[in-house]
């Protein structure tokens, strides 16, 4: 297992109410309220290593960085994919994943948000 998979998984699971599941064969999804905010590819030879949502402004900035592409199938929703893990520092990746988590949490129905908040 690649080292980035371990630290990203540990970081995602540290965010409140995160659940994980395998989907689409070898993709590890991290979700809040059944909505994904981060996808880790577990296959070593696949191009996109990790994908996450960002704001439209950040999306425009990030896709200009070498080693970052619009996420396959999800770019229209402002998802980016890192094809090179050294395109950003680990601290930046964590901050972007946290931002993705916050964006997805904010879009959850109020009732779901209230349920999550009540279970803290």
Please state the separation of Cα 17 from the chain's center in Å: 15
Q: pLDDT per residue over 97-108, tens digit each?
A: 999 999 999 999
Confidence band of 2 (pLDDT split at 50, 70, 90): low
Domain boundaries, the chain: 3-118
C-alpha 6/C-alpha 9 separation (Å) is 5
State the pLDDT confidence band at 1, using cuts at 50, 70 and 90. very low
Asked if pLDDT for residue 84 goes beyond 60, the answer is yes
The fold adopted by the segment(s) 3-118 is 3.90.1150
Q: Are 60 and 78 spatial neighbours (Cβ–Cβ below 8 Å)? A: no
Contact assessment for residue 35 and residue 104, using Cβ atoms and an 8 Å cutoff: yes
Of 40, 38, 10, 13, give the one whose Cα is nearest residue 26. Answer: 40
Predicted confidence at residue 118, as pLDDT, reads 87
What secondary structure letter does DSSP report for 84?
Answer: S
Mean pLDDT of 69-85: 94
List pLDDT tens digits, range 16-70.
999 999 998 889 999 999 999 999 998 877 778 999 999 999 999 999 999 999 9
Q: How far apart are CA 98 and CA 119, in angstroms?
A: 20
Nearest residue to 18 via CA among 40, 43, 3:
40
């Amino acid at each position: 297992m690649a080292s980035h998979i371990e630290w990203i998984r540990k970081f995602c699971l540290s965010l409140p109410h995160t659940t994980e599941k395998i989907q689409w064969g070898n993709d590890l999804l991290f979700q809040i309220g059944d909505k994904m905010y981060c996808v880790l590819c577990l296959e070593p030879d696949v191009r996109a290593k990790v994908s996450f949502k960002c704001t439209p402004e950040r999306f425009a900035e990030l896709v200009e960085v070498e080693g970052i592409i619009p996420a396959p199938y999800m770019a229209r929703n402002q998802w980016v994919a890192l094809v090179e893990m050294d395109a950003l520092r680990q601290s930046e990746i964590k901050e972007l994943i946290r931002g993705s988590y916050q964006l997805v949490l904010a879009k959850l129905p109020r009732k779901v948000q209230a349920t999550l908040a009540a279970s803290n």
